[in-house]
Amino acid sequence: MEFNYLVIEGNIGAGKTTLARQIASEFNARLILEQFDQNPFLPKFYEDPDRYAFPVELAFLADRYQQLKNQIANRDLFQEKTVADYYFVKSLIFSKNTLKDDEYNLYRRLFEIIQQQLPIPDMYVYLHVEVDNLLRNIKKRGRSYENRISRNYLETIQKGYFDFIKQRNDLTIIVLDVNDLDFANNPDHYNRITHALFSGPFKPGMNMVIP
């Protein structure tokens, strides 16, 4: 399948940034990476979620909108394709699991107003990784502020993604089970993924799971 705008998504530690970098390099595509480390509330959120949930989610919402709006709107003549390691809906998935009901209702109103101004990707790829493997990956990369991420938190985020995938019929959604794939270090594994993604006759509204 040809694409102009491709999104690689997944839970924390799934490898979405790594795969997005690889695909962007192969296809000479513009790469959009989430600037999560620039959120000043993130380390505080992991230490005290109840206190910092709303500011951290608002900061992410503003940063993601500004980045996507600016970079996708400004087309590059030499890089017609775009690969991103997140989709704007990520804001809603995470906030639903971190905010109180009244905060989430306000947040969702803001989200729905802003979302209308952003394009829909040609293909949405979700990398499925079991929670045990996510925890292992998170520990391996050694970000100090992620040490407090719990199994329960990852499970609720995973459920949020699954609910999103089931509800959306306006996207071409591909779910890849990458639990046994080391696409970062094994070229054969990476080639299996790209073959699965770009050789299939995918159409808008199609939802497929590729083991």
Per residue in 173-197, pLDDT (tens digit) is 999 999 999 999 999 999 999 988 8
Provide the whole-model pTM.
0.88
Please report the domains of the chain, with CATH numbers, ordered by start residue.
5-210 (3.40.50.300)
Average pLDDT, the chain: 89
> Which of 37, 76, 85, 122 is labelled catalytic?
85
Taking 70 as the threshold, does the pLDDT of residue 202 lie above it?
Answer: no
pLDDT at 203: 57
Q: Pick the range with the lowest mean pLDDT from 4-18, 60-74, 99-113.
A: 60-74
Instruction: Confirm whether 177 is a catalytic residue.
Output: no
Would you state the pLDDT for residue 198? 86
**Per-residue pLDDT averaged across 5-33, rounded?**
95
Q: β-pairing, 30-32 with 82-84?
A: parallel
Across the range 90-111, mean pLDDT stands at: 95
